[in-house]
Chains A and B, each alone.
Chain A
Amino acid sequence: MEASSSKQGKFERISALFLRRRTVAVCVFAILTTCLVAGYYVQAAVTNLRSTHQSFNDRQLRNGYIAISDLHRLVLIIQEASLRGVMTDEAVADFRAASDFLFVRTDTFRQIQSGRSFLKEADDAIDALLRAQSVADEAIATDFRDLDGAAAALIAQTQTAREALVVYLDKMRQLQDGLLLGQTSAVENQRTVVWVTLLGLSVLGIAATALLRKEVMAKQARREAEERVRHLAFFDPLTGLPNRVQFQDRLTGLLVQRRRLALLLVDLDGFKQINDTYGHAAGDDILRHVAATLTPYCSSHDGFAARLGGDEFAVVCMTQDVPSLMQICDAIITAIARPIVFEGESVAVAASIGLATKAHLGGEVDLTVDGLTRVADFALYASKSDGKGKFTIYDEVLERQFLERRAMVEELPQAIADGSLEYYLQPKVDLVTEEVFGFEALARWRRNDVIVPPSVFISTAEESGIIADIDCTILSNATRDIADFNRRNGTRFSVSVNFSTLHFNSLKFVETVAQALIESGLESDLLVIEITETAEMQDWDKAKQIVSAIHSIGAKVSIDDFGAGFSSLAYLRTTVADEIKIDRSLVQDIETSDAARFLLDAVLDIARNLGLDATVEGIETRQQADIVLAMGARKAQGFFFDAPMPRDDALASAMASARPLLERPAS
């Protein structure tokens, strides 16, 4: 590992070295110098060889040997004639021919030699040949009268010529040897130069190749990183499915093409519980299982699946055939419900589906990704509300509900602004003193002169986020009105205001409460913040921090609908709460059921043991009030005392109520 790191470091240093201009300049200079030296060296060898070639040519060597042969031929003829003592006609003809051969040879010799550098041995040989030629011509001219004399003169002269030719040929051999040696030396020099040049170029080539490889690898790494970034931008890394961005792009494209399609929004039921129970690794396995389940259904219908986030998936099918889509939904729900094995344990999850096709959209909903997703989501919500593990098709009925919901979402802000979002007050009664000690402020919406109960619009307000404005408006108005009333009438009525747990994510909420107390002038201990338990409440530490902060400004905190929600006992972890309000479901059977009475008694015991006030909600009969009082509960609320009513009516009723409440006739 260390060796590899050291090697890498060395390579980096070399790379850095080659990035310097000076290094590159030195390398280029070295290459050019090497080439110039090598070129000069080779050129010098070539010049030397050319010079030797100027002096030596194999034709010259051949001419020298043939000249000796021609001389020999001439001498042989005249020697034979001299021995015979007579020069026959045939011998004369042969002699003439031999003389002509020598003439032409000497002429050729001179021709070859004339174009070359001066060589004394060649000139000497040519002169000797010319003298021998002259003797032969003389013999022919005198018709061989002195045959012996001519023969002797010719033999002597040819001997001289032969000696000159031998000297010349020896010189030629020396030149030939020199030429061969020069060629050999030149080739050897060239070999050295080539070796040195190749070595230098190889080193540079290896360095250049290594650098090039590094650059290519870096480029490849960059490209892979870009690919990964691009992939991450459009795909969910956990499941490999297209993400929300790609979902929107592709669905937009399909809508633009006016293709027939349906959108299925798939949401897992109880996914949070799986994460809580088995851990996030199991949750991830479930999500991958869902992704693998969805893919075949959409691909077989020329569509695609996407993960929109969390446990929410989308499937786009290129069909609007409802029976087929219903089969797909059924198949998906069944397939997702098949358990997977996680660390030896069988883990299963259910899914709800909201289905919407283009054909189902009426004229009121835009045919956009947002519009289609909204209606499919609405259908999904209907599935969830209908018991989960089901699918719902967005149809005319849902369309009307959707439009109504949308209208409410659009109108609520205006209702808050123009005061048509009111609150009613329901009294809270002390069962011992039989007096009203406070009220719960309950939101009401006067819409088109009709009072809309909270059950109709609160959930919509929560989903759309408007609930925060509603809660703050009720808080502001109720604290202001009760504070005014207390000042004017010398009373100390408290007021409870409901707040969604959606507020319990930020300490800014505490600032809002403090601001309301300051602006209204309400004594802080007369304000009770009622929080309703929901499944969304996850960050207990944060909730506890916020409850403590509310408590620190003097207001009280009450846990509403205790016993009816998801994890009532878990709520008690926030021990800084002052009160629990026991849900009506724990009260409604206490007149007839021992078990119901036992349960209510047990809850009241828990509250007492934790030092919490307890207010029993949902008291509707005299008998219920008596039983609750007998159990030791002191505070109650319910229709038996008074239903929620407009502010002024409730306050007037509380002030006018002279007779003890518990003396009212049983209903």
Chain B
Amino acid sequence: MSKMSVLAAIAALALVTAAAADTPQPIALEPINHAEAELIIVRSDGTKQSYTPAELETLATYRVRTTTPWRDEPADFDGVLLSDLLAQSGLHLEDAIKVIAENEFSTIMPRALWETVPVLIATRVDGRAHTRRERGPIQVVIDMDDYTASPIAGEKHLVWMVARIEAE
């Protein structure tokens, strides 16, 4: 094997690793004491379903290491995928959803967003329970590379202190 071939193989491996690090990685989370919080899902027929952070974590959990517009240093965000949550709640076929924060901030997310970009509903940061002062307890997080590459994703979609998700 020539020196050039070895270098090419190393470069390819580094690229694959980097690509893998950018996408949400499945992770098994140990139970912790979460801050008191509640996420209410409101379906189009008006029925509701409530999730605590711990209940959310019964879905498949993932980790994303990324910065946010308010964090210069990257952090490990753990949580569940919005697409999984919507699928479980029966909102995955909606054209759009409305996400409302505890401080009454609200935004509309189109279906194309969660179908094309892995959107994480983060319940932990750096292994700790997510607090309000860290924009928790429930925060919408998108890997910064995906966020930058997506023509749909915007800062308004990175909602912190998420309280409700409604069918739009």
Contact = CB atoms under 8 A, between A and B. Distances in A.
A104 B135 contact: yes
Interface in A56-75: 66, 70
A104 B102 CA distance: 12
B103 interface: yes
Contact of B70 (A66, A101, A103, A111): A111
Interface string B76-117: 000000000000000000000000001101000000000000
B160 A97 contact: no
A143 interface: no
Contacts of B133: 100, 103-104, 107
Interface string A112-149: 00000000000000000000000000000000000000
A107 B132 contact: no
5 contacts: A97-B102, A100-B133, A100-B161, A103-B132, A107-B133
Contacts of B70: 107-108, 111
Interface in B151-168: 160-161
B46 interface: no
B56 to A, nearest CB: 19
A640 B103 CA distance: 156
Contacts of A104: 132-133, 135, 160-161
Contacts of B69: 111
Contacts of A97: 102, 132
A285 B132 CA distance: 111
Interface of A: 66, 70, 97, 100-101, 103-104, 107-108, 111
Nearest to A107: B70
Given A100-B133, A111-B69, 20 more contacts: A66-B103, A66-B105, A70-B103, A97-B102, A97-B132, A100-B132, A100-B161, A101-B102, A101-B103, A103-B132, A103-B133, A104-B132, A104-B133, A104-B135, A104-B160, A104-B161, A107-B70, A107-B133, A108-B70, A111-B70
| Chain B binding surface, main DSSP class | loop
A310 to B, nearest CB: 86
Interface string B131-150: 11101000000000000000
Nearest to A93: B36
Contacts of A66: 103, 105
B37 to A, nearest CB: 10
Nearest to B103: A101
A153 to B, nearest CB: 21
A363 B90 CA distance: 108
Nearest to A110: B70
The 7 closest A-B pairs by CB, nearest first: A100-B132, A101-B103, A103-B133, A111-B70, A100-B133, A104-B135, A108-B70
A619 B126 CA distance: 153
Interface in B8-45: none
A629 B103 CA distance: 157
A138 B70 CA distance: 25
A101 B160 CA distance: 10
A351 to B, nearest CB: 89
Contacts of A101: 102-103, 132, 161
